[in-house]
Chain A
Amino acid sequence: MSTTQVRPARSPISRLITPRRTGPRRGSTLLRHLLWVAIAAVAVYFVSYGIDPFRNYQLATVAAYLCVTAGLTMLTGLNGQLSLGHGALMACGAYTVALAQNEFSDRGVLGAWALPVSLALGVLVAALAGALIGVCAARLRGPYLAGVTLAVALVVPAFTTRFAGLFNADQGLSVYVDPAPAALGQYFPPERWQAWIAIGAAMLSLLIVANLVNSRFGRAFKAVRDDEVAAKLAGIHVARTQVLAFVVSAGCAGLGGGVLAVISQSVSPSVFGLTLSLNLLLAIVLGGLGSLFGAAWGALLLVLLPYLTTEVTRGLSLSPGLANKLEGNLPLAIFGLTLIIVMLVAPGGIQDAFRALGRTIRRRF
């Protein structure tokens, strides 16, 4: 008599319960991630001393974008909510930081604590806006959610023009930022200081997202993405989970926007238009949706691609008219083309391609 072993079906839920790697991981997730942050901090410290101010500025911009892409890849990749409006959430953070910093400097109450307080306010305002959108988003699916977030992406110039007294319409605001602390020496370049601020913010947001993803909330995010009914049956409050994902992701976007305002020392609505929102989404897809390394690749591409194309066109010595037309357009054309090719050839993005490469190498040797 044979007994047939009944194996549980590989439903989305059981995929979640079964760990991806065999064998339990030892130790605390938080400690492991903190160790990574410490290693990265040391590396960044030495790198920022080794490179010139312009590279430090680029590094800071990458870090600012990384804050946003980390949150967005969690929302879209792990929770399955498509957002085309994260540029507007960045604008929330950026304008809050600008207003707060200028208010502090007007009243002469500046100190080491002023910038963190402004950034925290920026995160708070963006998270509140994210909560509002998230509550609506929890009722919507697929293209309907895309439509609402697309409309969100377009409202930034409307607000800055309507409340021109506060936001100064299309010109935008300049942001007062303290110079680097005197303790760092007299000739400490401001770009290096900005890079430290930006990287600090990026590390914070990566740490929060990475821990959240590895917690029961992260598992709930994925369960809701894969099968809402099954998640509901497993006792997960679907709407609450979706709103939580949106709020955290919006907070990260607010932090990234605030840091961007600090780096560029100005905010204007044209920076936070639809193109930025779309670029953010495209960057996380190109990097590898749902992976934090993918978010890092995406942030890097957002800065490197325009820079490299400008360098190349400058090297070609074109006529001024043509160069003027290519400026700004060529990076977008290349970005679009890259995106289409990557989606057709390797839909998992850069990070997935690396993973596949790693698997192949391991199998060979």
Chain B
Amino acid sequence: MERFVFLTFDGLSRGAVYAAFALALVLIWRAARVVNFAQGAMAVVTAYAAYMVSDAVGSYLVGFVVALVGGLLLGALVERGLMRFVGHANPLNDVIVALGLVLLLTAVVGIIFGGEFRAANQPFDTRAIEVGGVPLMSRYDLFIWGTVATIVVLLALLFTRTAVGLRMRAAAFAPEVSRLLGVNVGRMLTLGWALAAVVGAVAGVLILPTELGLHPHAMDIVFASSFAAAIVGGLDSPVGAVVGGIIVGLILSYVSGYLGAALTPVAVLAVLLAVLLLRPGGIFSGVRARTV
């Protein structure tokens, strides 16, 4: 029972990070109808920058801010300098360019920093806080939950309560009409990518200390799990991304706790198939008009 409680809390904090990462994917999908396969690689780049700076300065907070700003710049740069110029004749083109970016970014990180694992320091105590003799969660878990909850609330406020959020939704929903009404659709797209990259960067900085540490391919399995989370929830639904993230996090935690960590990729596949065979558009998919 104690083990179950521990695994549940562990799964919840993993799930929170997956939820944030899945939310980043959903943001870009809704804005540009592109699955950003380079999200993981971009998060690796910002995480390296963040941990290098925080090691040099000696302050975790500075590194965290570097990740935020780095994500903002990288996201804007990728959209403005690359994705905007991809032809949309074939929906595969975006995917291929993003995959090319993955190869390029991970290879460049590998060339600069080498292929070995580097330690990613944690700002907080990772020992579990015990309640009534049962170890529940560490301060770092609380930090993760707080950060992810802040991100989710801020994004929800941005999209539902501000003029910029309204413009972003309009630009994604009906680009032509919004352009006629004076919305700078291109700038909204850049902003969407930048925001998504910030969320992805934060998720990367949060999860790396709980895994093996910094590595050019450290985010591969995180990306796959988060992509699974986004798909399980339905790519069009931000709520689905959060719910899917928690579900995937919990299942992965139970599987690696009871059956062995090696089986987690199989669990990801099993969850995906189980959900998608019942609902091919994810749990929170709406009814879609048939197009002929």
**B-to-A contact residues, CB < 8 Å:** 29, 35, 82, 85-87, 89-93, 95-97, 99-108, 110-112, 114-115, 220-221, 224, 227-228, 230-231, 235, 260, 262-266, 268-269, 272-273, 276-277, 280-282, 290, 292
Asked if A335 is at the interface of the complex by the 8 Å CB criterion, the answer is yes
Q: How far is the CA of A340 from the CA of B35 in the complex (A)?
A: 16
Inter-subunit contact A325/B115 (CB<8 Å): yes
Q: How far is the CA of A340 from the CA of B231 in the complex (A)?
A: 26
Q: Please pick, from A144, A161, A324, A326, the residue contacting B231 in the complex, using a CB distance under 8 A.
A: A144
Interface segment, one of A56-64, A152-160, A176-184, A203-211: A152-160
B206 CB, min distance to chain A CBs, angstroms? 22
User: Which residues does chain A contribute within 8 Å of B89, judged by CB atoms?
Assistant: 347
Inter-subunit contact B92/A82 (CB<8 Å): yes
User: Given the known A-B contacts A139-B277, A151-B224, A154-B265, are A281 and B107 also in contact in the complex, defined by CB atoms under 8 Å?
Assistant: no
Inter-subunit contact A336/B265 (CB<8 Å): no
Q: Please pick, from B96, B112, B265, the residue contacting A339 in the complex, using a CB distance under 8 A.
A: B96
Q: How many residues of A contact B (CB 8 A)?
A: 47
User: Which residues does chain A contribute within 8 Å of B99, judged by CB atoms?
Assistant: 278, 281-282, 339
Of the A-B pairs whose beta carbons lie under 8 Å apart in the complex, a sample of 7, sorted by A's number, is A136-B277, A142-B91, A147-B227, A148-B272, A151-B224, A332-B104, A333-B107
User: Given the known A-B contacts A155-B269, A158-B263, A161-B262, are A344 and B107 also in contact in the complex, defined by CB atoms under 8 Å?
Assistant: no
Interface of chain A residues 206 through 246 with chain B (CB within 8 A): 229-230
Asked if A15 is at the interface of the complex by the 8 Å CB criterion, the answer is no
User: Given the known A-B contacts A143-B29, A151-B228, A154-B224, are A339 and B87 also in contact in the complex, defined by CB atoms under 8 Å?
Assistant: no
Inter-subunit contact A76/B92 (CB<8 Å): yes
Q: How far is the CA of A112 from the CA of B280 in the complex (A)?
A: 47
User: Which residues does chain A contribute within 8 Å of B90, judged by CB atoms?
Assistant: 289, 347
Q: How far is the CA of A175 from the CA of B263 in the complex (A)?
A: 26
**A-to-B contact residues, CB < 8 Å:** 76, 82, 136, 139-144, 146-148, 150-152, 154-155, 157-159, 161-162, 229-230, 274, 278, 281-282, 285, 289, 324-326, 328-330, 332-333, 335-340, 343-344, 347
Give the nearest-CB partner of B259 in chain A. Answer: A162
User: Which residues does chain A contribute within 8 Å of B235, judged by CB atoms?
Assistant: 143-144
User: Which residues does chain B contribute within 8 Å of A325, judged by CB atoms?
Assistant: 110-112, 114-115
User: Which residues does chain B contribute within 8 Å of A144, judged by CB atoms?
Assistant: 231, 235, 276, 280-282
B85, B100, B105, most chain A CB atoms within 10 A = B100
Inter-chain pairs besides A151-B272, A281-B99, A339-B96, 6 sampled, C-beta below 8 Å: A143-B35, A151-B269, A335-B100, A343-B86, A343-B100, A344-B82
Interface on chain A toward B: helix, strand, loop, or mixed SS? helix
Q: How far is the CA of A51 from the CA of B106 in the complex (A)?
A: 36
Inter-subunit contact B104/A333 (CB<8 Å): yes
Inter-subunit contact B96/A147 (CB<8 Å): no
Inter-subunit contact A140/B276 (CB<8 Å): yes
Inter-subunit contact B220/A274 (CB<8 Å): yes
Give the nearest-CB partner of B232 in chain A. Answer: A147
A335, A336, A344, most chain B CB atoms within 10 A = A336
Inter-subunit contact B104/A337 (CB<8 Å): yes
B87 CB, min distance to chain A CBs, angstroms? 5
A89 CB, min distance to chain B CBs, angstroms? 14
Inter-subunit contact A333/B281 (CB<8 Å): no
Q: Please pick, from A136, A150, A337, the residue contacting B100 in the complex, using a CB distance under 8 A.
A: A337
Give the nearest-CB partner of B103 in chain A. Answer: A336
User: Which residues does chain B contribute within 8 Å of A336, judged by CB atoms?
Assistant: 100-105, 107
User: Which residues does chain A contribute within 8 Å of B100, judged by CB atoms?
Assistant: 282, 335-340, 343
B266 CB, min distance to chain A CBs, angstroms? 5
Q: How far is the CA of A23 from the CA of B207 in the complex (A)?
A: 62
User: Given the known A-B contacts A278-B103, A332-B106, A336-B107, are A347 and B276 also in contact in the complex, defined by CB atoms under 8 Å?
Assistant: no
Give the nearest-CB partner of A331 in chain B. Answer: B107
User: Which residues does chain A contribute within 8 Å of B231, judged by CB atoms?
Assistant: 143-144, 147
Q: How far is the CA of A140 from the CA of B272 in the complex (A)?
A: 11
Inter-subunit contact B111/A329 (CB<8 Å): yes
Q: How far is the CA of A332 from the CA of B228 in the complex (A)?
A: 26
B224 CB, min distance to chain A CBs, angstroms? 6
User: Given the known A-B contacts A147-B272, A151-B272, A155-B269, are A329 and B282 also in contact in the complex, defined by CB atoms under 8 Å?
Assistant: no
Inter-subunit contact A159/B266 (CB<8 Å): yes
Give the nearest-CB partner of A343 in chain B. Answer: B97
A150, A151, A157, most chain B CB atoms within 10 A = A151
Q: How far is the CA of A119 from the CA of B250 in the complex (A)?
A: 41
Inter-subunit contact B104/A344 (CB<8 Å): no
Inter-subunit contact A340/B91 (CB<8 Å): no
User: Which residues does chain B contribute within 8 Å of A285, judged by CB atoms?
Assistant: 92, 96
Q: How far is the CA of A67 from the CA of B124 in the complex (A)?
A: 52
Q: How far is the CA of A332 from the CA of B35 in the complex (A)?
A: 21
Inter-subunit contact B93/A343 (CB<8 Å): yes
User: Which residues does chain A contribute within 8 Å of B112, judged by CB atoms?
Assistant: 325
Q: Please pick, from A158, A161, A339, the residue contacting B97 in the complex, using a CB distance under 8 A.
A: A339
A162 CB, min distance to chain B CBs, angstroms? 6
Give the top 8 A-B pairs by smallest Cβ distance, nearest first. A336-B103, A336-B104, A339-B100, A333-B107, A332-B107, A151-B269, A329-B110, A154-B265
Q: How far is the CA of A318 from the CA of B163 in the complex (A)?
A: 55
User: Which residues does chain B contribute within 8 Å of A136, judged by CB atoms?
Assistant: 273, 276-277
User: Given the known A-B contacts A333-B103, A333-B108, A344-B86, are A151 and B268 also in contact in the complex, defined by CB atoms under 8 Å?
Assistant: yes
Inter-subunit contact B276/A154 (CB<8 Å): no
User: Which residues does chain A contribute within 8 Å of B263, judged by CB atoms?
Assistant: 158, 162
Inter-subunit contact A330/B266 (CB<8 Å): no
Q: How far is the CA of A238 from the CA of B101 in the complex (A)?
A: 34
Give the nearest-CB partner of B273 in chain A. Answer: A136
Q: Please pick, from B82, B93, B111, B265, the residue contacting A347 in the complex, using a CB distance under 8 A.
A: B93
User: Which residues does chain B contribute within 8 Å of A289, judged by CB atoms?
Assistant: 90, 92
User: Which residues does chain B contribute within 8 Å of A148, judged by CB atoms?
Assistant: 269, 272-273, 276
